[in-house]
Amino acid sequence: MATPTLAEVINRSQHHGLIARITSQQIFWVFMAAVFACLALTLLTDSFATERNLFNVTRNFAFVGIIALGMTAVIASGGIDLSVGSTLVISAMTVSVIMSAGMPFWLGCLAALGISLLVGAVNGVLIAYAGMPPFVVTLGMLSVARSLAMVLSDNKMIYEFGPDHDFLLWLGGGSTLGLPHPLIIMVILACLTAFAFRHLRWGQHLFAIGGNENAAVLTGIPVARIKVSVYMFSALMAGITGVLEVGWLGGVTTNLGQAMELTVIAAAVIGGANLAGGGGTAFGAVVGALLIEVIRNSLILLGISTFWQGTFVGSFIVIAVAFDRFRQRKS
Amino acid sequence: MNVLELKNISKRYGAIQALDNVSLAIAPGEVVGLMGDNGAGKSTLVKVIAGNFAPTSGDILVSDQKVAFHKPLDAQKAGIEVVYQDLAICNNLSAASNVFLGREPTRRIGPIKVVDYAFMRSKSAELFARLKSETRPRDLVHKMSGGQRQAVAIARTLLSDAKIVLMDEPTAAISVRQVAEVLNLIRQLSDHGISVVLISHRMPDVFEVADKVVVLRRGELVADKKASDSSPEEITGLITGAIEHA
Ligand SMILES: Nc1ncnc2c1ncn2[C@@H]1O[C@H](COP(=O)(O)OP(=O)(O)O)[C@@H](O)[C@H]1O
Ligand SMILES: [Mg+2]
């Protein structure tokens, strides 16, 4: 073997100081915080480490985690999607209405995901081609999509899902090998998202747009098309979650997913998505969602009023952003 | 043969005559220092050459062929590249990703095409070596010096077989040490037969690398002479108008 050149040694020390690299990542500390919270809860309460509670925690966390994957893509591209909670409910309502009319699951699911993609496409086109601010467009969609879900269902609760009723409940509420299905699906989607971020041109381009949109335009990246696809991706994740959540709850009302956008944004941001654009990882989204869910669960188990939840979520967003600012100023 | 020739180029913005009958020829590998006061028309000239907009009148010839650029991509295809100062660099990506931005090579794994990072790294390492720059392909641009950023932007022009590279004020906002780095990069380009048009306010920089100095004053070309036949004092006089014409 040849002796390494100086350049190689420098290169290695820059890129392969694994421990230094890991501990310099925000996500590492978030992960440690989540682990620490779990340990503390196990010691402090009798109820945390029960099978039943863990089952609930993992499933709840999976719902937030899946949507946070989409949100991370949007945030990394320099945008924001406030309409995810409403996209979730319109998807849930679509699958429910179709299945309760006696149609099979696959048809309802396809329609639900199709509607979700349409919601994302409308967001994306208004943002990318009409040049409107993402905040405004998706805030409008937040209202429109939920209202359409109410129209669709006549604001009634649906809990009968026709011939595939049991399959839907199994898909969202059941488990395989002790793992809740939403968790399994989240893991698969997280792996796919991580792969797309890292290894597809789509991923490269969306991070380039978030990093410097002007540069992306000048180098001929199809910025508008990528942006539309990113909002469609986010909506698809919300749509998938909508279908799963109906199966878990065994019924759906139009207040499903209300105020969920903030929890999801918090999860993405805590997991390292940079609200200024250009940063974020799939793994981070999942870990961020985990921490939020563990904290939410701990409030309940410790007998603290769940009214405090909003305080935590809101503060987390602000703290995570402040942390990021601080780090940027240092470098 | 000239890489680029401008014949009687004029450009008006409404009542403003930004360029007035400018003629200029650039040989392969030649480094041209383009100087002039603020508002003299330097950026306008670069934008005309780069295809950002057409001249009001006059002809552009590339390798002795008349061309008409309708958009920047046309000029790029003809071998004309612009190094925008910080505009075309993404700080959050690696040097290699920036070099290949928008042109990422892919390889197939089954039905999907994945970005070929290995090729991107080895190719950009090769380009940085050619530019004698110490930039490392995997480093994030975010952590780089101004000189290294320039190297990234310039490596991109090598990727596309540029004939001529236009640089608008590349040394305006960087430290002295980094200026030396950028000037070295310009020499490397020239050694590879690529012509460079360098816009700069810094007289020493221009005299250090330029073969030829060109001065614009209120849209008119008032000097076009070999750097070795001129002096900073003369050029200053030409820029201010103390010397009418050279
Ligand atoms: N887009 C534009 N519209 C109108 N006038 C312009 C525009 N760009 C430049 N000008 C005018 O053209 C003249 C030359 O400008 P410019 O080429 O930017 O000069 P320089 O780069 O040498 O400072 C100036 O008088 C400037 O105000
Ligand atoms: Mg200028």
Least confident of A122-131, A186-195, A254-263, A293-302: A293-302
Q: What is the mean pLDDT of residues A223-236?
A: 96
Closest CA to A155 of A247, A250, A82, A256: A256
| Number of structural domains in chain A | 1
Strands B195-199 and B164-168: parallel
Residue B217, φ and ψ in degrees, nearest 5: -135, 120
- d(C-alpha A188, C-alpha A182), whole Å: 10
Least confident of A65-69, A147-151, A303-307, B141-145: A303-307
- d(C-alpha B35, C-alpha B202), whole Å: 9
* Helix, strand, or coil (residue B223): strand
Say how far residue B76 (Cα) sits from the centre of its chain.
Answer: 12
Residue B156: what pLDDT?
Answer: 87
CB contact under 8 A, B89 and A212: yes
Residue A8: what pLDDT?
Answer: 53
Nearest CB to B115 within list A14, A200, A210: A200
Q: Where are the domains of chain B?
A: 4-79+162-240
Residue B242 has pLDDT above 90, yes or no: no
Give the model confidence (pLDDT) of A281-301 as tens digits.
999 999 999 988 888 888 888
CB contact under 8 A, A200 and B138: no
Domain B4-79+162-240 has CATH 3.40.50.300: yes
Distance A223 CA to ligand 2 centre (A): 27
- d(C-alpha B46, C-alpha B13), whole Å: 15
CB contact under 8 A, B93 and A14: no
Which residues in chain A (2-41) have CB-CB distances under 8 A to chain B?
A: 7, 10-11, 14-15
Q: CA dist A304 to A61, A85, A300, B24, Å?
A: 20, 25, 6, 78
Average pLDDT across chain A, whole number: 87
B85: confidence class by pLDDT, cuts 50, 70, 90: low
Q: CA dist B225 to B15, B107, B204, Å?
A: 30, 49, 16
Q: Which residue has the tokens 């998202």?
A: A193
Contacts of B173 (CB under 8 A, 6+ apart): B85, B146
CB contact under 8 A, A219 and B103: yes
Residue A65: what pLDDT?
Answer: 96
Cβ(A294)–Cβ(A65) under 8 Å? no
Residue A2: what pLDDT?
Answer: 46
B122: confidence class by pLDDT, cuts 50, 70, 90: very high
Q: CA dist B65 to B28, B56, B157, Å?
A: 15, 19, 22
**Which helix (H) or strand (E) segment is A180 a member of?**
strand A179-180
Exposure on the CB side of residue A207, measured as CA atoms within 13 A: 23
Nearest CB to B92 within list A7, A205, A279: A279
In this structure, is residue A317 part of a structural domain?
no
- d(C-alpha B39, C-alpha B23), whole Å: 18
Residue A51: what pLDDT?
Answer: 81
Distance B15 CA to ligand 1 centre (A): 12
Q: What is the mean pLDDT of residues A129-154?
A: 93
Q: Give the type of residue at A159.
A: Y
- d(C-alpha A26, C-alpha B238), whole Å: 56
Interface test with A, best of B52, B101, B159 (most A CBs within 10 A): B101
Question: Min CA distance, A136 vs chain B (Å)?
Answer: 26
Q: Give the type of residue at B93.
A: L
Residues with CB under 6 A from ligand 1: B 13, 16, 18, 36, 38-44
Q: Which pair of structure tokens corresponds to residue A274?
A: 């940079």
Beta strands in chain B (DSSP E): 4-13, 16-26, 31-35, 57-62, 65-67, 80-83, 106-109, 112-115, 164-168, 195-199, 212-217, 220-226
Residue A26 has pLDDT above 80, yes or no: no
In this structure, is residue A102 part of a structural domain?
yes
- d(C-alpha B154, C-alpha B183), whole Å: 12
Q: CA dist B243 to B166, B224, B240, Å?
A: 27, 14, 8
Closest CA to A89 of A70, A116, A110: A116
Residue A25 has pLDDT above 90, yes or no: no
Q: CA dist A194 to A188, A286, B118, B167, Å?
A: 10, 11, 18, 37
Cβ(A59)–Cβ(A268) under 8 Å? no
Structural domain boundaries, residue A225: 59-258+275-282
Q: Write the ipTM.
A: 0.81
Instruction: Label residue B181 exposed, middle or buried (CB < 10 Å: 0-12, 13-18, 19+).
Output: buried
Q: Which residues of B touch A15 (CB under 8 A)?
A: 138
In percent, how much of chain A has pLDDT > 70? Answer: 92
Residue A219: what pLDDT?
Answer: 82
Closest CA to B42 of B30, B60, B24, B69: B24
Nearest CB to A211 within list B72, B93, B112: B93
Residue A9 has pLDDT above 80, yes or no: no
- d(C-alpha A222, C-alpha A207), whole Å: 13
Cβ(A128)–Cβ(A213) under 8 Å? no
B173: confidence class by pLDDT, cuts 50, 70, 90: low
Instruction: Label residue A63 exposed, middle or buried (CB < 10 Å: 0-12, 13-18, 19+).
Output: buried
Residue B153: what pLDDT?
Answer: 86
Nearest CB to A221 within list B91, B102, B115: B102
Closest CA to A93 of A168, A149, A148: A149
Contacts of B224 (CB under 8 A, 6+ apart): B24, B212, B213, B214, B215, B246
Give the model confidence (pLDDT) of A267-281 as tens digits.
999 888 888 888 899
> From atom 1 of ligand 1, which residue's Cα is the shortest distance away?
B13
Residue A328: what pLDDT?
Answer: 66
Average pLDDT across chain B, whole number: 88
Distance B42 CA to ligand 2 centre (A): 6
* Helix, strand, or coil (residue A5): coil
Residue A330 has pLDDT above 70, yes or no: no
Contacts of A291 (CB under 8 A, 6+ apart): A30, A31, A33, A34, A37, A267, A270
Q: Say which residue, B145 or B61, is predicted with more confidence.
A: B61
Strands B31-35 and B57-62: unpaired
* Helix, strand, or coil (residue B173): coil
Cβ(B164)–Cβ(B195) under 8 Å? yes
In this structure, is residue A18 part of a structural domain?
no
CB contact under 8 A, A218 and B87: yes
Q: What is the mean pLDDT of residues B77-98?
A: 85
Q: Read off the DSSP letter of residue A50.
A: S
Q: What is the mean pLDDT of residues B164-186?
A: 80
CB contact under 8 A, B103 and A278: no
Residue A142 has pLDDT above 80, yes or no: yes
pTM above 0.90, yes or no: no
Residue A1: what pLDDT?
Answer: 39
Instruction: Please state the three-class secondary structure of A277-309 as a single string.
Output: CCCCCHHHHHHHHHHHHHHHHHHHHCCCCHHHH
Q: Read off the DSSP letter of residue A136.
A: H
Instruction: Label residue B22 exposed, middle or buried (CB < 10 Å: 0-12, 13-18, 19+).
Output: buried
